[in-house]
């Protein structure tokens, strides 16, 4: 690895790990849901995240780095917690809320990376392109969670009609 590119490679690898975590989270959410429409959505997002991770990994490799291809231990523990929470609550909103929370964290990581003045222009552009997919997923999960919460509130007998 070239010392000239080491910082860019480190940032790309860190983001790639986060995106792999996101892909794994979506795949786990797809396995946890009973609703086919949500399962399809989560699987599509998981596949999209894997493509984004592959792009980040290719950029790191192109700079002479060795890309990370596994998610983090912390994310695996968080998904295990999500499994337990969903088993107890059996609630789609809780699954979507967990995914949205992870997406917000990932979005923040991308925001921090883009504010890093030490990155090369090429790496910054690679990150900016990847961030577009991340932002789209985060926004979609936010809207979906709000919709599910609204349905839940409407189903509540104490909710004014």
pLDDT in tens, 14-44: 999 999 988 988 998 888 888 888 899 999 9
Query: pLDDT grade, residue 159 (50/70/90)?
Result: very low
pTM of the model: 0.80
Domain limits, the chain: 6-155
Q: What is the CATH number of domain 6-155?
A: 1.20.1260.10
Instruction: Please enumerate in sequence order all residues whose Cβ is within 8 A of that of 152, keeping only pairs 6 or more positions apart, or say none.
Output: 91, 93
- Dist. CA 67–CA 60, nearest whole Å: 6
């Amino acid at each position: 690895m070239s010392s000239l590119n080491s910082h860019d490679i480190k940032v790309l690898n860190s983001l790639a790990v986060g995106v792999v975590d996101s892909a794994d989270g979506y795949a786990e959410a797809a396995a946890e849901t009973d609703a086919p429409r949500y399962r399809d959505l989560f699987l599509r997002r998981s596949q999209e995240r894997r493509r984004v991770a592959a792009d980040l990994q290719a950029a790191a490799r192109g700079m002479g780095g060795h890309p990370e291809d596994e998610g983090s231990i912390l994310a695996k523990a968080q998904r295990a917690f999500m499994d337990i929470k969903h088993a107890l609550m059996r609630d789609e909103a809780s699954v979507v809320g967990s995914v949205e929370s992870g997406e917000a964290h990932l979005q923040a990581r991308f925001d921090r990376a883009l504010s890093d003045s030490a990155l090369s222009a090429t790496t910054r552009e690679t990150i900016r392109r990847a961030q577009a997919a991340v932002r789209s997923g985060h926004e979609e999960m936010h809207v979906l969670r709000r919709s599910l919460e609204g349905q839940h509130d409407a189903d509540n007998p104490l909710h004014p009609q």
